[in-house]
Amino acid sequence: MKKTRNIMVQGTMSNAGKSVLCAALCRIFKQDGYKVAPFKSQNMALNSYITKDGLELSRAQVMQAEAAGIEPDIRMNPILLKPSSDTGSQVIIHGEVRGQMAAADYYEFKKGLMPAVRESYDALAEDYDIIVIEGAGSPAEINLRENDLVNMGLAEELDAPVLLAGDIDRGGVFAQLYGTAALLTESERARLEGFVINKFRGDVDILRPGLKQLEDLSGIPVLGVVPYMTLDIDDEDSLSPRLERKEADVKPLEVAVIRLPRLSNFTDLTPLESHPLIGVRYVDTAGDLKDPDLIILPGTKSTIADLIWMRESGLEAAILKRHASGTPVLGICGGYQMMGGELRDPEGTEGIIPEARGMGILPTSTVFTSAKTRTRVHAKTEALPFSGCEIDGYEIHMGKTTVNGSPFCRITERAGTEAADGSTGKEAPAGIVPHLDMDGCGTDHAWGTYLHGLFDSGEVTERLAAYLCERKGIPYESAAPVSRLEYVQHQYDILADGVRAALPMDKIYAIMDKYMR
């Protein structure tokens, strides 16, 4: 008998809502008194996170861990693929970079990865009562069935029951569900315990004739219809509909975020999007930049390539024009690197371009190396108007930046050790590059930092809102800063309430119990 109960959520397609449904189940099981953890064997995303021990995993599993009320753990996501081109990705196993691989090369490489997946899962199972497993893409990708370690192949390996989620908001949900089930093998279909229709708007009674016909045709029950919920929790990847928005919400302050082709860690901007005074829009053409109150250059997987894209598209010139007229510019990670005077890549870490001229906004220069910095950080800001704010964040980047100006912040703790007098206090964990105790650069209306999560505590966000209001000459009204973690915990409770009302949890528990025998 298995020691730990498990359940797997697969989807008819990417972005069918698997990640959020898994988060909801994690929250529900936690509310019911169980120790629960999320698990996804392989995730492909540019949004990643650094654990306390300096290892890298997907933000989706971080979000699910938050819902479960536990610390993010590398065991939750043993394989992470970070796309670097249309045909290749950086491959990260157990939080450590294994290198760049073309799609065909990885297809061969992954044949030997099930033991790594099993190792992570078994280690989690020793510590938790329930594991909520998330699939990837669709199990109906039958060209990938051989050596599958993310969908039905994983379900069979772990002896997990499967729920199949379909996104009705995109249309064609009955075809999605029926067609996916029809393409499964007989043994795979036997493991499919129920359909879940996700993101429904309207009267469920209108759906009922279709639900019955789907059950009759497939022989698989429809367990529930989950309503479309407006929630403020991290999205899984850049398929997020919010990145399609061109216009800001109607709010007093307008922030333009440059939508880089290889944009990563856009969840850094989530606290700004939920602020009552700040409207955020994503810009990918010079004509759309217009006249915002702040321009943000976010993180990117390929700094030099995206800088060249901005240059060729005319966006760089438009940003420099706005900045010269007084518009503040903030760069995060790769965006910070772009803002300097020079970028050099002597080892070809980023590609085939050995060096490039930066935007010249900040007095910095960056040299890329194959070493990857991955560390958790506590810092205190020094640059105006943010001076004195506390930041709990993390660094995740390639390259070292030399600063010939004032720092953005002072690091007070790095990877769990004191960083006084430029020292880490003890030897850094494997894979972490030690740095001095300063980060980033700041001028009177331009700032750059390597720190992801700088807005999460609320202090920097409120200081930024007050600064932009003062520049614009409008009154600043703000509640006391609220921790992002405190705020998002309430969002997970709302999510759990909505899903609990839609799904028969007694049947979910019974399904898991059946697979314990």
Measured in residues, the chain has a length of: 517
> Would strands 364-381 and 390-403 be described as parallel, antiparallel, or unpaired?
antiparallel
* Cross-strand partners of 101: 89
The pLDDT value recorded for residue 266 is 84
Find how far residue 82's CA is from the centre of its chain: 11
Reported as type and span, the H/E element at residue 130 is strand 130-134
Query: Which residue from 174, 75, 57, 202 is spatially nearest to 131, judged by alpha carbons?
Result: 75
For 452, phi then psi, to 5°, come to -80, 150
**Residues 490, 231: contact at Cβ < 8 Å?**
no
Report which of 265, 275, 213, 207 is spatially closest to residue 240, judged by C-alpha positions: 265
Contact 484, 455 (CB under 8 A): yes
Q: According to the CATH classification, is domain 5-233+490-514 in 3.40.50.300?
A: yes
Instruction: Tell me the Cα Rg of the chain.
Output: 23
Asked if 131 contacts 39 with a C-beta cutoff of 8 angstroms, the reply is yes
Q: Are 37 and 61 in contact (CB under 8 A)?
A: no
Question: What is the distance between the alpha carbons of residues 375 and 393, in angstroms, rounded to a whole number?
Answer: 9
Sheet holding 88-93, edge to edge: 42-44, 79-83, 88-93, 96-102
Q: At what angle do helices 484-502 and 18-31 cross, to 10 degrees?
A: 90
State the chain's maximal CA–CA distance in angstroms.
70
State whether residue 62 is helix, strand or coil. Answer: helix
Buried b (16+ CB within 10 A) or exposed e, 263-294: bbbbbbbbbbbbbebbbbbbbbebebbeebbb
The Cα–Cα gap between 78 and 325 comes to: 47
Measured between alpha carbons, how far is 84 from 46 in angstroms, rounded to an integer?
9
Position 108, amino acid: E
CA distance 117 to 113: 6
Give the residue among 21, 364, 52 at the shortest CA–CA distance from 224: 21
* Catalytic-residue membership of 452: yes
Contact yes or no for 414/429 (Cβ under 8 A)? no
- Residue 47 CA, chain-centre distance (Å), reads 4
Is 94 in the active site? no
Fold agreement (5-233+490-514, 253-473): yes
* pLDDT at residue 418, rounded to an integer: 42
Cβ neighbors of 169 (< 8 A, separation 6 or more) are 198, 199, 200, 201, 228
What pairing do the DSSP bridges indicate for beta strands 299-300 and 263-264? antiparallel
- 216 Cβ contact list (under 8 Å, min separation 6): none
Burial 473-500 (b: 16+ CB within 10 A, else e): eeeeeeeeeeebeebbeebbebbbebbb
User: CB within 8 A of 112, min separation 6: which ones?
Assistant: none
Omega within 30 of 0 (cis) for the link into 385: yes
Residues with Cβ within 8 Å of residue 428, at least 6 apart in sequence = 54, 375, 414, 415, 417, 434
Token pair listed for 464: 């930024």
Return d(Cα 511, Cα 7) in angstroms, integer.
Answer: 8
The phi, psi pair for 387, rounded to 5°, reads -55, 135
CATH 3.30.70.20 fits domain 253-473:
no
Identified catalytic residue from 333, 389, 441, 469 = 333
Per-residue pLDDT of the chain (517 residues; tens, 9 = 90+): 567 999 999 999 988 899 999 999 999 999 999 999 999 999 998 888 989 888 999 989 999 999 999 999 999 999 999 887 777 889 999 999 998 899 889 989 989 999 999 999 999 999 999 999 999 999 998 888 888 999 999 999 999 999 999 999 888 999 999 999 999 999 999 999 999 999 999 888 889 999 999 999 999 999 999 999 888 777 654 434 444 444 445 688 999 999 999 998 888 998 898 888 999 999 999 999 999 999 999 999 899 999 999 999 999 999 999 999 999 999 999 999 999 999 999 988 887 789 999 999 999 999 998 888 889 999 999 999 999 999 999 999 989 999 999 999 999 998 744 444 333 333 444 444 344 589 999 999 999 999 999 998 889 999 999 999 999 988 887 555 566 677 788 899 999 999 999 999 999 999 999 998 6
For the chain, the structural domain boundaries read 5-233+490-514, 253-473
Residue 273 corresponds to which amino acid? E
Tokens coding 300: 């990117």
Q: Strands 417-418 and 441-442: what pairing?
A: unpaired
| pLDDT at residue 203, as a whole number | 87
pTM: 0.73
